[in-house]
Amino acid sequence: MKSIKNLKQTLLQFAKCDRGSTALEYGLIMALVFLVILAAVTQFANVATSKMDIANDAITNAGN
């Protein structure tokens, strides 16, 4: 019975502890920043590929 009381007390102390919450928040912010950067790079790559395809078609058709 004593071990159950100790477990309950330990869990309550763990629930009250907020030392790791800041690290978790920073981790979530970093993940969000990563997703925004990934989306921006993907969009840039799509636009750049489209422009290169247009330029390639213009160069290919200029010889005809």
pLDDT of residue 20: 67
Spatial separation of the C-alpha atoms in residues 40 and 20, rounded to whole Å = 31
Q: Which domain holds residue 33?
A: 18-62
pTM equals 0.59
- Domain for residue 10, yes or no? no
Average pLDDT over residues 33-56: 97
Position 22 in a domain = yes
Please list, residue by residue across 22-61, b when 16 or more beta carbons sit within 10 angstroms of its beta carbon and e when fewer do: eeeeeeeeeeeeeeeeeeeeeeeeeeeeeeeeeeeeeeee
User: CA 30, CA 37: separation in Å to the nearest integer?
Assistant: 10
Q: Domains in the chain: how many in total?
A: 1
Q: Residue 26 falls within a domain, yes or no? A: yes
Residue 44 falls within a domain, yes or no? yes
Tokens 């489209």 -> residue: 50
Whether 30 maps to a domain, the answer reads yes
pLDDT confidence tier of residue 7, bands split at 50, 70 and 90: confident
Distance between CA atoms of 27 and 20, rounded to whole angstroms? Answer: 11
